Amino acid sequence: MERRNFKNLNIGGAGIRGIVGPGLTPANAGDFAAAYGTLNTGKTILVGIDPRGSSPMLEGVVTSNLCGCGCHVITGGILTAGMMHFLILHRNLGGGILISGGHQGAGWNALVPLDESGAYYEYFRQRELFDLYHGKRFYQPGPDDIGSLKTLPPEALDAYWNFLASQLNVPAIAGAGIRVVADFCNGAGAAYGKRFAELLHIDLVGVNDEPCALIPRDPEPRPRSESLIRSIIEPLGANIGLVFNRDCSRLGIVSDRGEPLSEEMTFPLGADYFLESRAPKGSTVVTNVCSSRSLDETVRRRGGILVKCRVGQSRVIDRMRSAGAVLGGEGCGCFTTTAIHGFDGFLMAGILLESIAVRKQKISEQIQKLARYNMVKQTIPCNSPNAYRKLRQLCREFEADGRISEEDGLRFDWNDGFLSLRLSNTEALLRLISESTSRELAEERAWKVRQYWERSEA
Amino acid sequence: MNTPIVNTLKFSESGVRGIVGAGLTPRLITELAAAFGLYCGGGRIAVGRDTRTTGPIFEQAVAAGLLSAGCQVLNLGIVPTPTIQFTVHKLGCSGGLAISASHNPEEWNALKFIASSGCFLGPGEAAELFDLYSQGSLPCRQENNLRGVKEYPSAFEAHRNRIFSAIDRDAVRKSHFRVAVDCCNGVGAYFSADFLRELGCEVFPIFDEKDGKFRRRPEPRPENLSRLSETVLQNHCDIGFAQDPDGDRLTIVTEKGIALAPDYSVVLAVEQLLDGGDPGPVVVNTQTSRLVEYIAGLRGCEVKSARVGEINVIEKMTECDSFVGGEGNCGGVIARRIHPGRDSFTGMSLILELLSFTGKTVGEIVGELPPAYILCSRFPASPTVGKRLLEEMERRYQQYSPVAFDGLRIDFPDGRVFMRSSNTEPILRLHVESSDHAAADALRLRFETEMKSILE
């Protein structure tokens, strides 16, 4: 019997994403764009891409189908996620579609729908969009109402850089003589690294900074992808290493001593500085249910209130709005303020650079002040149509000794740590996070899950 | 109010065309382009378009389809359809796609499929392509097998140089012709004036705004060319040329401001080609004026008939080893020495060359031909209704031995009547030709009345 991959294509909060060819095709991408166009007919929509091999093809499908549904399209070419979030709101547009596989590897791509505020589609709007997509009945105007196609003028980005400067203490950063090693993974950020360095007057050493289809490493900012630049940080005398994903919406950090930090520490580092310097006591911070407890303690120490939501960047942004939070983010290496309705790698990097400049403290010193847990993060291949049933059965394995939460996947809490098991929204994977004060305990719990899962797969 | 969705799609060897939104959608275009990319076996595909406002959208849709099939897209931008055909052959592309509904009104658009030879797909090849398309769910290549889009902005320059190398450009330049050109706001608005200036002409362009809004009916027929006639007269021009939006059709206005039937473009070009030594026989479609037979007869050259449609004429030309051809009904000049396809730029060059070689005016050259009054009408009719009408007409006029080779041709002692269902629109065309004006009028009136009564 043909073995079918159930996760070649995924439709969820992050739009439609899949492996180009067996999953994501011009046909389903066209239907998705037509569904989006049907919801937004007559509006002006910004389309930006991450320079993947399939992006020109998908850009053609998206722009033509949007115009075919009566949308006026502005093509922005290569844009980071942050630029998309900002430009849509700033230019008073009707929405946008970002064509980017973000953190996913070569072969993947995605269409990420954005609303008129530049934010990801919230849950109910997603449902409406997906119903249209599945129903395949799209608005088809006559020839007089077909949309137009324009290109974003390059000077339009000046407003973005002015915005970024307004969010940061530029004189402090500029005066600190900071040297940065930045790995852009040849993604959208690579096209703008130089401008970022000029804005903040920093000395930026670029790595993988050619925006092109070649994806030189795992785009997810994790210690293993950060380790590529760790060896040059100290010899170059750099203050920090920045490791971005392809659409510049996630950030991993390498300390001035060349230590690749867990991506879980990006948010606590940013939150620690932001809450101390810019937010009043009692401010609300939003994160997802499986982020490191390091953040819980950071927020508590700075007198903030932590609100948890389900995993997904769109959910965090949505919850930030409803909770009136000043800061939100996830353990995958992203955080944001209320200034922008999404995650912007340049803004995150700017805040961390500001923390070095204003506090006059190295990253290696700042990280020492944060609670650090032992965390095991694993992905277990899960190409099963019955994965949710299997996941529920796991409750029994751990029910005796931990508090169970089913807010998103399964989470077991103990005094020393937690275990989170969640089926990926975007890939054929079970994501396992086991955190504890004791490395042995964290590893043992992860091992137990893995053993159970593999046994039931066999 | 939104236009109601009525299917206007037309699949034929002339491509796939329809009214945008009413049948012709970006999705259909992407799928057709993907099928074409697959049909061509990948490789490089040249893509060009006319100035229609929906062109940029369909250009995107086409690129997406071709890329998904693993093709490299060579984007020529806004260029005449003959330039795309020329480029495909010159650069050894696997094929080409023209995004243009040619002479159809502004709200239409179309995809025309070009084989690696630079000629349009023949009926058999087009049928194979449509079979592939009809299978649905065409495979999409994985990302590591996808290629990109390459811009090629100098395609027309190469095409123009090819035309100039095939004519006596110095002779034309020395004549310093005053030429009015009606670009119909199509591709000619980008290229025609400069092209004629390169031939030493003083140019008076009209309808040359580049916004893709057609300011006259796009078919270059005499009844649509009153402004060109005025321009010719006001500026004392030697000749006026009218193009269609994608630059493959040509009609002439004489120095007296008289708009000629499109057949005259072919007649004059054939005269110049044969005098220049291009080998016959002359191949024209069944709807072309008898004047071609007269011109060829004077030069001892045979004329062969082909079915209407550029590819049918080209295939016949290849079969007969002919280098001279055309489609009189639409003013489509074909000089195979330059490239095998209808080309208004080739037509303009040959006719100016004829004027400079003979030293005569257009009016004088036409005056030396036997009189020919060519009248046309069109009736809305689906292909099925059209077929029934032609069968009925064949029965009614059996005593004149009608020719049902392509449409229906009836030769009367005082003229010729031709009726045919269009390949590109749901209409029936009536074409009447006679050497006597009154006879032509009478024949048209008679057939118009008869056809209307049958259609009702």
Q: Is residue A396 predicted with pLDDT exceeding 80?
A: no
Secondary structure of residue B280 in the 3-state scheme = coil
Q: Which of A369-383, B248-262, B285-299 has the highest mean pLDDT?
A: B248-262
User: B148 with A56: CB under 8 angstroms?
Assistant: yes
Q: Which residues contact B424 (CB under 8 A, 6 or more apart)?
A: B10, B12, B14, B17, B101, B102, B104, B110
- Provide the pLDDT for residue A7: 65
Q: Is residue A382 predicted with pLDDT exceeding 90?
A: no
**Is residue A401 very low, low, confident or very high in pLDDT (cuts 50, 70, 90)?**
low
DSSP A226-277: HHHHHHHHHHHT-SEEEEE-TTS--EEEE-TTSPBPPGGGHHHHHHHHHHHH
- Chain A residues touching chain B at CB-CB below 8 Å: 19-22, 24-27, 30-31, 34, 52-54, 56-61, 63-65, 67-68, 106-109, 140-149, 213
Distance CA A299, CA A307 (A): 10
Distances in Å between the Cα of B395 and the Cα atoms of B404, B406, B408, B411, B417 are 11, 16, 11, 15, 15
Q: Across residues B183-197, what is the average pLDDT? A: 95
Q: Is residue A336 predicted with pLDDT exceeding 60?
A: yes
Distance CA B292, CA B278 (A): 15
Q: Across residues A358-364, what is the average pLDDT? A: 94
Distance CA B423, CA B310 (A): 11
Q: Which residues of B211-227 are buried (b: 16+ CB within 10 A; e: fewer)?
A: ebebbbebbbbbebbeb
- Provide the pLDDT for residue B10: 81
Q: Is residue B140 predicted with pLDDT exceeding 90?
A: no
- Provide the pLDDT for residue B287: 85
Q: Across residues A288-302, what is the average pLDDT? A: 91
Partners of residue A65 in chain B, C-beta under 8 Å? 26-27, 61
Distance CA B455, CA B384 (A): 11
Taking each helix axis from N to C terminus, what angle separates A123-135 and A26-39, rounded to the nearest 10 degrees? 120
Q: Is residue B228 predicted with pLDDT exceeding 70?
A: yes
**Is residue B7 very low, low, confident or very high in pLDDT (cuts 50, 70, 90)?**
low
Question: Which of B53, B57, B63 is opposite residue A56, by nearest beta carbon?
Answer: B63
Q: Which amino acid is at A358?
A: V
**Is residue B4 very low, low, confident or very high in pLDDT (cuts 50, 70, 90)?**
very low
Q: H or E element: which one contains B19?
A: strand B15-20
Question: Which of B21, B54, B68 is opposite residue A140, by nearest beta carbon?
Answer: B21
Q: Across residues B116-126, what is the average pLDDT? A: 89
> In percent, how much of chain A has pLDDT > 90?
64
Secondary structure of residue A95 in the 3-state scheme = strand
User: B327 with B310: CB under 8 angstroms?
Assistant: yes
Partners of residue B20 in chain A, C-beta under 8 Å? 142-143, 146
- Alpha-carbon Rg for chain B, nearest whole angstrom, is 21
Q: Which residues of A22-52 are buried (b: 16+ CB within 10 A; e: fewer)?
A: ebbbbbbbbbbbbbbbbbbbebbbbbbbbbb
Partners of residue B106 in chain A, C-beta under 8 Å? 143
Q: Is residue A449 predicted with pLDDT exceeding 90?
A: no
Instruction: For A402, list phi and psi in degrees, rounded to 5.
Output: -140, 160
Distance CA B38, CA B318 (A): 27
Q: How far is A191 from chain B (nearest CA, A)?
A: 19
Q: Is residue A347 predicted with pLDDT exceeding 50?
A: yes
**Is residue B435 very low, low, confident or very high in pLDDT (cuts 50, 70, 90)?**
confident
- Beta bridge partners, B10, equal B17
Question: Which of A26, A140, A141 is opposite residue B34, by nearest beta carbon?
Answer: A26
Is A21 within 8 Å of B141 when comparing Cβ atoms? yes
Q: Is residue A2 predicted with pLDDT exceeding 50?
A: no
- Provide the pLDDT for residue A385: 66
- Provide the pLDDT for residue A3: 46
Q: Is B94 one of the catalytic residues?
A: no
Question: Which of B30, B144, B146 is opposite residue A61, by nearest beta carbon?
Answer: B30
Is A53 within 8 Å of B146 when comparing Cβ atoms? yes
Instruction: For A138, list phi and psi in degrees, rounded to 5.
Output: -110, 155
- Provide the pLDDT for residue A458: 60
Tell me which of A397-401, B19-23, B135-139, B255-259 is least confident.
Answer: A397-401
Q: How many CB pairs under 8 A join A and B?
A: 137
Secondary structure of residue B253 in the 3-state scheme = strand
> In percent, how much of chain A has pLDDT > 70?
95
- Provide the pLDDT for residue A40: 96
Is A52 within 8 Å of B143 when comparing Cβ atoms? yes
**Is residue A6 very low, low, confident or very high in pLDDT (cuts 50, 70, 90)?**
low
In tens, the pLDDT along B272-303 reads 999 988 887 999 998 888 899 999 999 999 99
Q: Is residue B23 predicted with pLDDT exceeding 60?
A: yes
Report the residue of chain B nearest A67, measured CA to CA: B57
How many other C-beta atoms can be found within 10 angstroms of the C-beta atom of residue B7?
Answer: 10
Tell me which of A175-184, B40-49, B60-69, B138-147 is least confident.
Answer: B138-147
**Is residue B405 very low, low, confident or very high in pLDDT (cuts 50, 70, 90)?**
confident
Q: Is residue A181 predicted with pLDDT exceeding 70?
A: yes
In tens, the pLDDT along A128-154 reads 899 889 888 899 888 888 999 999 999
Its sign, for the CA torsion B30, B36, B41, B42, is negative
Distance CA A412, CA A394 (A): 11
- Chain B residues touching chain A at CB-CB below 8 Å: 2-5, 19-22, 25-27, 29-31, 34, 53-54, 56-58, 60-65, 67-68, 106-107, 137, 139-146, 148-149
**Is residue A9 very low, low, confident or very high in pLDDT (cuts 50, 70, 90)?**
confident
Q: Which of A99-108, A324-333, A418-427 has the highest mean pLDDT?
A: A324-333
Distance CA B386, CA B426 (A): 9
Q: Is residue A22 predicted with pLDDT exceeding 70?
A: yes
**Is residue A109 very low, low, confident or very high in pLDDT (cuts 50, 70, 90)?**
very high
Partners of residue B65 in chain A, C-beta under 8 Å? 26, 60
pTM summary value: 0.84
A58, two tokens: 């998908």
Mutation for A interface: B30, B49, B60, B214, most A CBs within 10 A? B60
Active-site pick, B14, B94, B100, B102: B102
- Provide the pLDDT for residue A311: 86
CA torsion angle B196 B202 B203 B204 (round to 10): -170
Partners of residue A30 in chain B, C-beta under 8 Å? 26-27, 30, 64
CA torsion angle A42 B215 B58 A80 (round to 10): -50
How many other C-beta atoms can be found within 10 angstroms of the C-beta atom of residue A443?
Answer: 15
Q: Is residue A291 predicted with pLDDT exceeding 90?
A: no
A360, two tokens: 């006059």
Secondary structure of residue A150 in the 3-state scheme = strand
DSSP A354-384: HHHHHHT--HHHHHHTS---EEEEEEEE---
Partners of residue A21 in chain B, C-beta under 8 Å? 139-143, 145
Pairing of strands B415-421, B408-412: antiparallel
Peptide bond into A385 cis (omega under 30): no
Partners of residue A57 in chain B, C-beta under 8 Å? 63-64, 67-68, 146
Question: Which of A30, A106, A147 is opposite residue B143, by nearest beta carbon?
Answer: A106
Mutation for B interface: A57, A69, A97, most B CBs within 10 A? A57
Is A58 within 8 Å of B64 when comparing Cβ atoms? yes
Distances in Å between the Cα of B174 and the Cα atoms of B169, B249, B271, B347, B385 are 9, 26, 21, 19, 54
Does residue A387 or residue B262 have the better pLDDT?
B262
Q: How far is A297 from chain B (nearest CA, A)?
A: 43
**Is residue A399 very low, low, confident or very high in pLDDT (cuts 50, 70, 90)?**
low
What is the predicted ipTM? Answer: 0.77
- Provide the pLDDT for residue A402: 65
Question: Which of B63, B143, B144 is opposite residue A60, by nearest beta carbon?
Answer: B63
In tens, the pLDDT along A57-92 reads 999 999 999 999 999 999 999 999 999 999 999 999
Q: Across residues B298-323, what is the average pLDDT? A: 90
Distance CA A50, CA A32 (A): 18
Q: Across residues A182-207, what is the average pLDDT? A: 96
State chain B's maximal CA–CA distance in angstroms: 69
Partners of residue B145 in chain A, C-beta under 8 Å? 21
In tens, the pLDDT along A52-63 reads 999 999 999 999
